[in-house]
Amino acid sequence: MDVAIPMKGRMIHPTTGAPQSQIYDPIRGQCINSISRPILNQRLLESLPEEIDTVFDVKLAKIDWKTRTAYGLVKRQKPKQKLPGQEDDDGKVGGGSRGEGSRDAGRDEIETQFDLIVGCDGSWSKVRSEMMRADR
């Protein structure tokens, strides 16, 4: 609450005429509390116990519920921009990579064991779809 901004109402911008302020709760003066996403993210990360490791840029791809293994895809670092005819470190010149164009092209697969998995991956949750695929 120390970083929240109380929002007491909203501004309506009609197509014609002057903007109108609408108070959410003119009787009791209640409001919604607004917090910026970066601050919220920072506070959530800061509140984690030290023994928790945080890993970013891994996309959950598959869950094996029997072996309690989660498979993820890690984005590869983009290679440095090359001039025409210039060689890569591995000697390749120009051209596209295999699998280019597919959604998961340029990603490496990693796996990890888990005791508990929390599906907080949004409205198109992969955890949820993997749970729906599993035998009951």
Ligand X SMILES: Cc1cc2nc3c(=O)[nH]c(=O)nc-3n(C[C@H](O)[C@H](O)[C@H](O)COP(=O)(O)OP(=O)(O)OC[C@H]3O[C@@H](n4cnc5c(N)ncnc54)[C@H](O)[C@@H]3O)c2cc1C
Kindly list the residues in this chain that would bind ligand X in the complex (CB under 6 A): 59-60, 120-122, 126
Closest approach, Cβ 37 to ligand X, in A, equals 8
Whichever of 18 and 55 has its CB closer to ligand X, that residue is: 55
- Name which of 132, 106, 127 is nearest 62 in CA terms: 127
Whichever of 65 and 94 has its CB closer to ligand X, that residue is: 65
Closest approach, Cβ 53 to ligand X, in A, equals 15
Closest approach, Cβ 107 to ligand X, in A, equals 11
Whichever of 93 and 105 has its CB closer to ligand X, that residue is: 105
**Phi-psi bin for 103: left (phi > 0), alpha (psi -120 to 50), beta?**
alpha
Strands of 1-136, DSSP E: 5-7, 9-12, 20-23, 32-34, 58-64, 69-75, 107-113
